[in-house]
Amino acid sequence: MVIVITGSASGIGLGVAQAFLQEGHQVVFSDLNQEALSQVAATTPSKNAIFIPCDVSSESACQNLIQESHKVFGSVDVLINNAGFQHVALLEDFPTEVFNKMLQVELVGPFMLTKCAFPLMKAQKFGRILNMASINGLVGFAGKAAYNSAKHGLLGLTKVCALEGALFNITANAICPGYVDTPLVRNQLADLAKTRQMSAQEALEKILYPLIPQKRLIAIEDIAKLALFLASDAAKSITGQPFVIDGGYLAQ
Ligand code: NAD
């Protein structure tokens, strides 16, 4: 299959892209950060991988990503909308331009990419859309007005894609991770540790773990395995669903 995955020069996206590549699929790595993407390209010598820079907040860049992927590999079978960033501030301090940007990257971007990929998927009567949402798509978190809005919206978009794709063998699902062991989360922990004058490990154990019943971060590999399953034939009847993978966080 041909997999197009955004935000795949780092963290979850990189791990998921590598997992699909290891399973023998053709993978289009894509990211806003061209330097990071070039570094991934340099360490991924595979004829099954190509690297296309794309800022998902730009419609022309989204169109180019889908068209180029189709031109090189002949189809687009799985679209994984993963690109994202975080900004934490109270409502009254939240810059409106950052709110708009986050919606553009984490909601409008997935819409624009799906809009481009859907006609190709309908024509080939096969498609898988995977949207990287979050537990923040299901419950509210203080300080994350834009992120919560974008991720809640992404779950709505996922359901519409599922309905419109249903008769064309196109499924759409969302993955909702809790705290994943990524550089982003580790850096946040390091900052927290500095502010609270403790070690990163202490911050993990005293601040984060009390929130997580399994008392561990989610491995990127676990997200990748879920993505592989949702893209597989075994998941052909599963559509329009959010898949929570959070170590028990939302069970409380
Ligand atoms: P990350 O920062 O490691 O990776 C995100 C990638 O997206 C980066 O390479 C970045 O350059 C890219 N990106 C940012 N803006 C972009 C844009 N406009 N166009 C294209 N690419 C862009 O972060 P991550 O932790 O791997 O997060 C990946 C996804 O998973 C995000 O959607 C995030 O919301 C979601 N998520 C992460 C966690 C977590 O614990 N890390 C939990 C739940 C959900």
Q: How far is the CA of 167 from the centre of ligand 1 (A)?
A: 31
Identify whether the C-beta of residue 12 lies closer than 8 Å to the C-beta of residue 42: no
Edge-to-edge order in the sheet of strand 2-5 = 49-53, 26-31, 2-5, 78-81, 127-132, 170-177, 242-245
Identify whether the C-beta of residue 184 lies closer than 8 Å to the C-beta of residue 11: yes
Beta bridge partners of 130: 80, 173
**Residue 191 pLDDT level (bands cut at 50, 70, 90):** confident
* pLDDT confidence of residue 77: 98
Range 113-137 average pLDDT: 98
User: Which protein residue's CA is at the shortest distance from atom 12 of ligand 1?
Assistant: 7
Torsion over CA: 245, 103, 119, 32 (sign): negative
* pLDDT confidence of residue 188: 84
Phi/psi-derived region of residue 11, left when phi > 0, alpha when psi is between -120 and 50, beta in every other case:
left
The CATH classification number of 2-179+219-251 equals: 3.40.50.720
* pLDDT confidence of residue 192: 87
Range 122-127 average pLDDT: 98
Range 65-83 average pLDDT: 98
Range 49-73 average pLDDT: 98
**Residue 183 pLDDT level (bands cut at 50, 70, 90):** confident
User: Does the annotation count 209 as an active-site position?
Assistant: no
Mean pLDDT of the chain: 97
Range 134-140 average pLDDT: 98
User: Which protein residue's CA is at the shortest distance from atom 15 of ligand 1?
Assistant: 84
pLDDT, tens digit, 9 for 90 and up, residues 92-116: 999 999 999 999 999 999 999 999 9
Which class for 217: exposed (0-12), middle (13-18), buried (19 or more C-beta within 10 A)? buried
* pLDDT confidence of residue 187: 86
Q: How far is the CA of 85 from the centre of ligand 1 (A)?
A: 5
Q: CA-to-CA distance for 45 and 185, rounded, in angstroms?
A: 28
Q: Residues lining ligand 1, CB < 6 A?
A: 6-7, 9-13, 31-33, 36, 54-57, 82-85, 105, 132, 134, 177, 179-180, 182-185
Q: To the nearest 10°, report the CA torsion of 42, 44, 49, 53.
A: -40
